[in-house]
Amino acid sequence: MVCSAADVLGALGDRWGTLLMRDLLLGLTRYEDLRRSTGATNATLSDRLRELEANGLVERRRYQTRPDRYEYLPTPRGRDLKLLLTAMVQIGDTWNLADREGPPLRFVDTRTGRRVALALVDAETRELVSAGHVAVEAGCGADAVMRWRLERAAALRKAGSDAGPVSADGDATPRAK
């Protein structure tokens, strides 16, 4: 599938892979720590670590001999996922589904001690851009399917706004059966 988001999803594998990258990026490195932290079973854990290694997100490294023991370290590519982690934490914090009194994790600027957040900026000037002014369009790497998605979405938007605000009140009826 021609989509950068799908590429990242594919590299992570699934929930377990993502949870493992969270722990690895927080600084855990050892099998037993990862198992305790995530609660994954041995079969799933060793499979996922292998997969993350095959996808170039972590490196398996011996940290002791007699007996040989190994730890797992994020590669530079794996470290790119810090951005993803930050986004997930930020979204989860605003949702606060578990109704906590505060966030479990805080990202802070080591120089000022103040909290940091993700924001959209102009790619060149680095000036802030408000989310309302951001649009998505096909890039030059887009294939026919991606172009179809965007055109279909644009068509639906047009049909929706043509019909006017009258049709904006759909009812969210419970499913039959």
Restricted to residues 148-177, the positions that interact with DNA (CB under 7 A) are 175, 177
Question: Which one, of 69, 65, 67, lies nearest residue 32 by Cα?
Answer: 69
Residue 32 touches which of DNA, its own copies, none (CB < 5 to 8 A by kind)? DNA
Binding of DNA at residue 67 (CB under 7 A)? yes
Indicate the burial class of 139 (C-beta count within 10 angstroms; 0-12, 13-18, 19 or more): exposed
Q: Among its own copies, DNA, none, what binds residue 54 when CB lies within 5 to 8 Å by partner kind? A: none
Q: How many CB atoms lie within 10 A of CB 117?
A: 8
- Selected from 7, 32, 143, 151, the binder of DNA by CB under 7 A is 32
How far is the C-alpha of 71 from the C-alpha of 34, rounded, in Å? 10
Q: How far apart are CA 133 and CA 130, in angstroms?
A: 6
Q: Which does 69 bind (CB under 5 to 8 A by kind): DNA, its own copies, none?
A: DNA
How distant is the alpha carbon of residue 97 from its chain centre? 18
For residue 164, the minimal CB distance to its own copies (Å) is: 14
Q: Which of 12, 21, 24, 49 binds DNA (CB under 7 A)?
A: 49
Among 44, 55, 75, 90, binds DNA (CB under 7 A): 44
Are the beta carbons of 26 and 78 closer than 8 angstroms?
no
The item of its own copies, DNA, none sharing an interface with residue 158, based on CB under 5 to 8 Å by kind, is: none
d(CA 149, CA 121): 25
Q: From the list its own copies, DNA, none, pick the one residue 44 interacts with, judged by a Cβ distance below 5 to 8 Å according to partner type.
A: DNA
Binding site for DNA (CB under 7 A): 14, 16, 30-33, 40-44, 46-47, 49, 60, 63, 66-67, 69-71, 175, 177
